[in-house]
């Protein structure tokens, strides 16, 4: 498997996927979303692979959306925004539906959609004092597509507060909420990841798959058509007056009117 935006390595029954755009803090663009989705779909049908580790190359895990990609979205129609949002939903759904355990090796900061990747991992291990934020509201939009996965991870009250304020929080607080499972010193990160890889390898592959299906069914019965609502809602807000102003202000390094 050869990709431009992600680096994939395999060691026996474990495959590691690293977001590989360190020059832009592993910000996601359309190419990365498609490559990640394609990679996870291939992994899902590969019986030789038992565990997936998701991480980022460089200093950051994932800075969220790529600036150039955001610039192109500023002029998208409602229909184009819905199509684009479906790519994002397909990415999170594919990782969430992966039959293999997905372990997040959180090596650096994560914002916006990057936190959506944390929310769809089964286990997250991070280093101390990283910075996180659901910063979409600062642009006049909302983290709609990732919301069902985030709510499942950290609960409604935490989600509501963090989505409204867009405030930054650190690894320790993320652990307190349940977004991160363990915070460990940098020199113990790989050792801890290896521990969880080994633990999952001692579990029956089909049993692991069925456990994930069991939890998923509980979620699906509660959410109904909520995911389709989120796709349309983020598209609606991207083309709204406030969303357009917030995105343009961010790209032009200005303050939107509500921050004057």
CA distance 54 to 104: 5
| Kind of pairing between the strands at 123-126 and 102-106 | parallel
Q: pLDDT by residue (tens digit) across 191-222?
A: 999 999 999 999 989 989 989 988 887 777 66
pLDDT at 214: 85
pLDDT (tens digit per residue) in 154-177: 999 999 999 999 999 999 999 999
CA 249 to chain CA centroid, Å, is: 24
Angle at 28 between CA 198 and CA 260, to 5 degrees: 125
pTM above 0.85, yes or no: yes
- Write phi, then psi, for 77 (nearest 5 degrees): -75, 170
Q: How confident is the model at residue 12 (pLDDT cuts 50, 70, 90)?
A: very high
The share of the chain scoring above pLDDT 70, in percent, equals 97
pLDDT tens track for 43-54: 999 999 999 999
Strands 51-56, 14-19: pairing kind: parallel
CATH number 1.25.40.10 given to 6-187: no
Domain ranges of the chain: 6-187
**Average per-residue pLDDT in the chain?**
93
Residue 77 near residue 239 (C-beta atoms within 8 A): yes
């Amino acid at each position: 498997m050869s990709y431009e935006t992600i680096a994939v390595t395999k060691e026996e029954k474990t495959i590691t996927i690293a977001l590989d755009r360190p020059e832009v803090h592993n910000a996601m663009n359309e190419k990365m979303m498609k490559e990640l989705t394609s990679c996870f779909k291939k992994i899902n049908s590969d019986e030789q692979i038992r565990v997936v580790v998701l991480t980022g190359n460089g200093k950051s895990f994932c800075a969220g959306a790529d600036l150039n990609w955001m610039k192109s979205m500023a002029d998208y129609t409602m229909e184009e925004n819905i199509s684009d949002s479906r790519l994002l939903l397909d990415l999170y759904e594919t990782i969430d539906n992966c039959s293999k355990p997905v372990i997040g090796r959180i090596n650096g900061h994560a914002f916006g959609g990057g936190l959506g990747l944390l929310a769809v991992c089964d286990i997250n291990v991070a280093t101390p004092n990283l910075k996180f934020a659901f910063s979409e509201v600062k642009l006049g939009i909302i983290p709609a597509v990732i919301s069902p996965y985030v709510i499942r991870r950290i609960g409604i009250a935490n989600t509501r507060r963090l989505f409204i304020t867009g405030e930054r929080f650190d690894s320790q607080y993320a652990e307190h909420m349940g977004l991160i499972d363990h915070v460990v010193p940098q020199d113990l990160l790989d050792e801890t990841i290896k521990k969880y890889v080994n633990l999952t390898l001692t579990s029956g592959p089909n049993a692991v798959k069925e456990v994930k299906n069991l939890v998923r069914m509980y979620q699906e019965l509660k959410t109904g058509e909520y995911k389709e609502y989120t796709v349309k809602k983020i598209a609606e807000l991207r083309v709204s007056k406030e969303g357009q102003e917030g995105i343009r202000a961010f790209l032009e390094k200005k303050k939107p009117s509500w921050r004057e």
